Amino acid sequence: MNDQLLKIQNLTVDYRSSNKTVHAVRGLDLNLRPGETLGLVGETGAGKTTTALSILRILPDVAARVLSGEILFDGKDLLTRSKKEMRQIRGRDIAMIFQDPMTSLDPVVTVGAQIEEMIMLHADLPRSGLRKAAEDMLEVVGIKRERFDDYPHQFSGGMKQRVVIAIALSCNPKLLIADEPTTALDVTIQAQVLDLMKQLKKTYRTAMILITHDLGVVADICDAVAIMYAGEIVEYGTLEDIFDGHRHPYTEGLFNSIPSIDVEQKTLEVIEGLTPDPTNLPSGCAFHPRCPYASAHCAEERPGETQLSDTHYVRCFQCAPSKEKELQHGRTVVERL
Ligand code: SF4
């Protein structure tokens, strides 16, 4: 049995206009097992959403160019599938939830009919069974089946996002991609939607890619974490690798910018400088103009992946595994050189 549901290798995507090229994703590698939840973390413009749109093959045709790579889903390359095959895969095998539920819902169609339509397109079910299946899905996401005939404007923001989740899960996809699914919601509603996603993850064993800039959300729901910066993954590991043993200076900056409840802080630390212009990326390591550990070498050469353990890698010249030192529980310690 194939234990990798999704395997992306060396994915490179540019956006081109008449006089500029945006380097959106640069040599990205990523693996996801069935039932696993991966957090894709980074600032706006890091390439997270482009990665998701590439998997679904819904990049804007005119501007986007996939320059290299393969996206193996269930062992077959999505980049070589026909448009017809991709239409079947979207919704049935891979579904996506966007940040703003109103961009996904049709305001003039009842929520029940929208769930029915998705089931009709992708599931092998007689017409007579559609309404019951759609009503069941509403109940799965905590909405009473009596609300089947209501329109999206009759629901609150959190309820609309629940409807979007119901549509996405109605064909029991193997992979769910959620792009900042709670960002547009109030904090209490965010917690409810996250609880729902956790519960659905347990029940359906759906693999998930959760795109977010919020490490709290990642800690709550993810099994693995990929930290993206300037179109590439700069650190990748299990939740424990990243939360207890992160090594990349950018990851360190992200964690330092989170308020702590243990220590009294008057001001939060910030990562100095701005995210780089993707049309004109810095030479060498793209993080070097902002990195407190940068050396002259960092501006000259782009760091490759340094494998720190079976599950953890980092792209930084200043991090190397040290075989001599071992933590008490046997994990290899990585020292900044
Ligand atoms: Fe900083 Fe150099 Fe590591 Fe880049 S390679 S993160 S500039 S130390």
The yes-or-no verdict on residue 192 having pLDDT over 50 is: yes
pLDDT band at 205 (very low <50, low <70, confident <90, very high): confident
The pLDDT score that the predictor gives to residue 189 is 79
What are the helix (H) ranges across the chain?
48-56, 83-92, 101-104, 111-122, 130-140, 157-169, 187-204, 215-221, 239-245, 249-256
The pLDDT score that the predictor gives to residue 330 is 41
What's the 290 CA to ligand 1 centre distance in angstroms?
A: 9
More confident residue, 276 or 192: 276
| Mean pLDDT of all residues in 76-95 | 93
In a 10 Å sphere around its CB, with 0-12 CB exposed, 13-18 middle and 19+ buried, how is residue 234 labelled? buried
What's the 102 CA to ligand 1 centre distance in angstroms?
A: 40
Weakest-pLDDT range from 84-93, 96-105, 156-165, 299-308:
96-105
The yes-or-no verdict on residue 333 having pLDDT over 50 is: no
Rounded CA separation 236/227 (Å): 6
pLDDT band at 332 (very low <50, low <70, confident <90, very high): very low
Which one, of 135, 11, 115, lies nearest residue 69 by Cα?
Answer: 11
Residue that is written with structure tokens 């070097």 in the block: 288
Q: Which of 251, 283, 287 to mutate to test the pocket of ligand 1 (most atoms within 8 A of CB)?
A: 287
Any ligand 1 atom below 6 A from CB of 181: no
Residue pLDDT, tens place only, 149-178 = 999 999 988 889 889 999 988 888 999 999
- Domains, the chain, ordered by start: 6-222 (3.40.50.300), 229-272+281-336 (no CATH)
| Mean pLDDT of all residues in 297-305 | 95
What's the 250 CA to ligand 1 centre distance in angstroms?
A: 9
pLDDT band at 22 (very low <50, low <70, confident <90, very high): very high
The pLDDT score that the predictor gives to residue 234 is 97
Alpha carbons within 13 angstroms on the beta-carbon side of residue 205 total 4
Ligand 1 atom with the shortest distance to the CA of 293: 8
What's the 108 CA to ligand 1 centre distance in angstroms?
A: 51
The yes-or-no verdict on residue 265 having pLDDT over 70 is: no
Ligand 1 atom with the shortest distance to the CA of 248: 6
The yes-or-no verdict on residue 264 having pLDDT over 60 is: yes
The yes-or-no verdict on residue 92 having pLDDT over 70 is: yes
Any ligand 1 atom below 6 A from CB of 314: no
Integer angstrom CA distances of residue 191 from 34, 36, 185, 187, 198: 25, 20, 9, 6, 10
The pLDDT score that the predictor gives to residue 266 is 64
Q: What is the mean pLDDT of the chain?
A: 88
Alpha carbons within 13 angstroms on the beta-carbon side of residue 11 total 30
The pLDDT score that the predictor gives to residue 261 is 64
Q: Is 122 in contact with 171 (CB distance < 8 Å)?
A: yes
The pLDDT score that the predictor gives to residue 181 is 84
| Mean pLDDT of all residues in 53-74 | 94
What's the 298 CA to ligand 1 centre distance in angstroms?
A: 6
- If DSSP codes are grouped into helix, strand and coil, which group holds residue 49? helix
Any ligand 1 atom below 6 A from CB of 293: yes
Does the pTM of the predicted model rise above 0.85?
A: yes
pLDDT band at 321 (very low <50, low <70, confident <90, very high): low
Directed axis angle between helix 83-92 and helix 111-122, to 10°?
Answer: 130
What's the 174 CA to ligand 1 centre distance in angstroms?
A: 37
What's the 319 CA to ligand 1 centre distance in angstroms?
A: 9
The sign of the torsion formed by the CA atoms of 268, 308, 286, 71 equals: negative
Weakest-pLDDT range from 109-123, 131-145, 292-306, 319-333:
319-333
The pLDDT score that the predictor gives to residue 280 is 93
Any ligand 1 atom below 6 A from CB of 253: no
| Mean pLDDT of all residues in 133-143 | 91
Weakest-pLDDT range from 164-168, 242-246, 290-294:
164-168
The yes-or-no verdict on residue 47 having pLDDT over 90 is: yes
Q: Is 66 in contact with 79 (CB distance < 8 Å)?
A: yes
Any ligand 1 atom below 6 A from CB of 249: yes
The yes-or-no verdict on residue 322 having pLDDT over 70 is: no
Rounded CA separation 149/98 (Å): 23
Rounded CA separation 320/313 (Å): 10
pLDDT band at 323 (very low <50, low <70, confident <90, very high): very low
Any ligand 1 atom below 6 A from CB of 298: yes
DSSP-derived secondary structure for 133-200 = HHHHHHHHTT--GGGGG--GGGS-HHHHHHHHHHHHHTT--SEEEEESTTTTS-HHHHHHHHHHHHHH
Any ligand 1 atom below 6 A from CB of 229: no
Ligand 1 atom with the shortest distance to the CA of 285: 4
The residue whose CA has the least distance to atom 3 of ligand 1 is: 316
